[in-house]
């Protein structure tokens, strides 16, 4: 009997078993539910972005008609910035539940706007949202264990192992059976994903990369389960050992590793940056004007000849101490950025010990929902804010009379291109 025919007969036999059909149906339901929930969340985020973009334009147009002073326009001119979910984001929402993907920014000090955010849900941060990445990284191994833990012990306890080996060609039976069951499980899990990928317009390369990653993950757990199934242990003992291994590499190692990484890589909290920044900005009101303008001019020597402030309040002084506040918080901000990047790098290394963690991070990378994508968005916001300063500073320091036509040259926010690991 050829190998292809043997695989076909094995597949028909396995599909005739009620327990296998139930488990495959469970896998299909879990995957389909995760894909549908992910697509609904992505659709909600995109709808919110489009709605807020339209409202942003309306609000700013009304504000530009209301004022005739550059300082007032810069002060009340909020600009909506955002990071749209990728076409593959439905499969792995990643850091989009924890890190911000939208801000309303204006010409005031930037650090306070970047780091002021709603606190993350600790339970959600720990477990993650129920999406396709969670299903294939955490639940797929359990499904493999249920399918394969008694692949040999079950036949032995029923007294059929010797007969099966004699009629099917020896030990190759167990490998063939494990391969068939793993492929059937893969089909049940990947079918909803491919429907979602086609419907969402995901790139073929990203969809194939996701499929390959899930395939390798399934192969790893299948080999492990087949290895544990050797010997004379009962099915119950084998299942307990496999579940224990799953708990260690999928739950315990990521949690303990995360605690170790946090301990080994201390960094300031966003609240500390926000507090330092606010104190620096608020303190400027009570300082001599020169205490603000000197460090500002050191960063912008082109305005040295126009930096004198001779009256109690001038817009150029106000926006100058806003930037000086950013400058005073810059060192702590840099430490925070370096720290979170170091933690992310360590988490990737931790994935070498935890295949579920590695798969989850890989899918988040492919979906552009990882930390790297969040930092790309943050850099785009910083670049846009810098372009606003370049637009307003010549108007404020040059005492340019208000001309509404100049607002046509006002910079607009542009999303940055993202790639896996960018």
Q: Where are the beta strands (DSSP E) in 88-203?
A: 102-105
> For the residues 365-393, what does the mean pLDDT come to?
94
118-134: pLDDT as tens digits: 555 544 455 557 999 99
pLDDT of residue 418: 76
**Three-state SS at 214:** helix
Residue spans of alpha helices (H) in 201-314: 204-228, 235-246, 253-264, 270-283, 289-299
* pLDDT bucket at 306, cuts 50 / 70 / 90: confident
Q: Which residues contact 152 (CB under 8 A, 6 or more apart)?
A: 161, 174, 229, 230
Q: Buried b vs exposed e over 97-136: b needs ≥16 C-beta within 10 Å? A: bbbbbebebbbbbbbbbbbeeeeeeeeeeeebbebbbbbb
pLDDT band at 157 (very low <50, low <70, confident <90, very high): low
159: pLDDT confidence band, cut at 50, 70 and 90?
Answer: very low
Which residue bears the tokens 């292809």?
4
**Pairing mode of beta strands 79-82, 102-105:** antiparallel
Structure tokens at 145: 């264990």
> Do 411 and 391 contact (CB within 8 A), yes or no?
yes
Q: Please tell me the distance from the alpha carbon of residue 143 to that of residue 140, in angstroms, as a whole number.
A: 5
- Structure token pair of residue 213: 């990653």
What average pLDDT does range 368-394 have in this prediction?
94
Selected residue with higher pLDDT from 206 and 284: 206
Going by pLDDT thresholds of 50, 70 and 90, the confidence category of residue 163 is very low
Q: Report the distance separating Cα 401 and Cα 399, nearest Å.
A: 6
78-95: average pLDDT: 94
Give me the half-sphere count of Cα atoms (radius 13 Å) on the Cβ side of residue 367.
Answer: 31
389 or 235: which carries more pLDDT confidence? 389
Give the pLDDT confidence score for residue 127 in this predicted structure. Answer: 52
Stretch (H or E) spanning 344: helix 315-350
Whether residue 368 contacts residue 88, with contact meaning beta carbons closer than 8 Å, is answered with yes
% of the chain surpassing 70 pLDDT: 89
Angle (deg, nearest 10), helices 204-228 and 235-246:
140
Confidence of residue 226 (pLDDT cuts 50, 70, 90): confident
Q: Is the pLDDT of residue 161 over 60?
A: no
Instruction: Answer for the pair 148, 225: CB distance below 8 angstroms, yes or no.
Output: yes
Cα 418 to Cα 85, 362, 364, distances in angstroms: 11, 15, 12
Whether 258 and 347 have beta carbons less than 8 Å apart is answered as: yes
Mean pLDDT score of the chain, rounded to an integer?
87
The pLDDT of residue 153: 56
Higher-confidence residue of 141 and 15: namely: 141
At CA 303, angle to CA 69 and CA 392, rounded to 5?
30
Q: 333 pLDDT band (50/70/90 cuts)?
A: very high
pLDDT at 174: 66
Q: Can you say how many angstroms the Cα of residue 219 is from the centroid of all Cα atoms in its chain?
A: 25
pLDDT of 178 above 50: yes
Strand partners, 81: 103
Residue 24 burial (CB count, 10 A): 20
* Mean pLDDT to the nearest integer, 407-412: 92
Q: Are 137 and 226 in contact (CB under 8 A)?
A: no
Q: State residue 158's pLDDT score.
A: 47
pLDDT in tens, 266-305: 988 888 888 888 888 888 888 888 888 899 999 999 988 8
Mean pLDDT of 130-151: 92
What's the mean pLDDT in 212-224?
95
What tokens appear for 197 in the block?
A: 């990928």
243-255: pLDDT as tens digits? 999 999 999 999 9
pLDDT at 52 exceeding the cut of 70? yes
pLDDT at 170: 53
Can you tell me the mean pLDDT for 353-372? 95
Q: How far apart are the first and last CA of the chain?
A: 50
C-alpha closest to that of 248 among 141, 165, 336, 157: 141
Q: What is the DSSP letter of 415?
A: P
Instruction: Say which residue the tokens 């942003």 belong to.
Output: 56
For 3, the token pair is 């190998």
CA–CA distance, 188 with 185 (Å, rounded to integer)? 5
Torsion, Cα 321 325 326 329, to 10 degrees, reads 160
């Amino acid at each position: 009997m050829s190998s292809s025919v043997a695989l076909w007969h094995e597949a028909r036999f396995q599909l005739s078993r009620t327990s296998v059909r139930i488990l495959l149906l469970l896998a299909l339901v879990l995957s389909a539910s995760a894909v549908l929930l992910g697509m609904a969340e992505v659709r909600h985020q995109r709808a919110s972005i489009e709605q807020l973009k339209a409202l942003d334009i309306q609000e700013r147009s009304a504000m530009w008609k209301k004022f005739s002073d550059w300082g007032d326009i810069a002060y009340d001119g909020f600009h909506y910035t955002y990071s749209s979910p990728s076409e593959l984001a439905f499969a792995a929402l990643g850091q989009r539940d924890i890190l911000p993907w939208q801000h309303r920014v204006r010409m005031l000090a930037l650090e306070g706007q970047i780091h002021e955010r709603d606190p993350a849900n600790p339970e959600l941060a720990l477990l993650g949202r129920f999406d396709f990445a969670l299903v294939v990284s955490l639940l797929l191994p359990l499904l493999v264990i249920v399918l394969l833990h008694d692949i040999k012990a079950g036949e032995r306890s029923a007294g059929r192992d010797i007969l099966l080996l004699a009629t099917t060609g020896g030990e190759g039976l167990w490998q063939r059976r494990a391969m068939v069951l793993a492929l059937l499980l893969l089909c049940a899990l990947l079918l909803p994903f491919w429907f979602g990928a086609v419907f969402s317009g995901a790139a073929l390369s990203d969809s194939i990369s996701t499929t390959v990653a899930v395939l390798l993950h399934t192969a790893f757990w299948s080999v492990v389960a087949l290895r544990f199934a050797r010997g004379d242990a009962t099915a119950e003992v084998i299942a307990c050992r496999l579940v224990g291994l799953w708990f260690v590499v999928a739950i315990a190692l990521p949690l303990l590793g995360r605690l170790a990484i946090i301990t080994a890589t201390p960094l300031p909290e966003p609240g500390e940056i926000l507090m330092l920044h606010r104190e620096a900005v608020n303190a400027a009101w009570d300082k001599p004007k020169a205490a603000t303008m000197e460090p500002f001019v050191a960063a912008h020597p082109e305005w040295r000849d126009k930096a004198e402030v001779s009256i109690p309040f001038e817009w150029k002084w106000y926006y100058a101490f806003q930037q000086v506040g950013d400058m005073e918080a810059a060192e702590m901000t840099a430490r925070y950025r370096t720290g979170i990047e170091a933690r992310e790098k360590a988490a990737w290394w931790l994935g070498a010990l935890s295949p579920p963690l590695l798969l989850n991070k890989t899918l988040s990378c492919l979906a552009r929902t990882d930390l790297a994508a969040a930092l790309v968005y943050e850099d785009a916001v910083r670049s846009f804010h810098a372009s606003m300063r370049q637009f307003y500073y010549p108007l404020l320091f040059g005492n340019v009379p208000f001309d509404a036509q100049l607002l046509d040259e006002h910079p607009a926010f542009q999303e940055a291109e993202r790639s896996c690991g960018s």
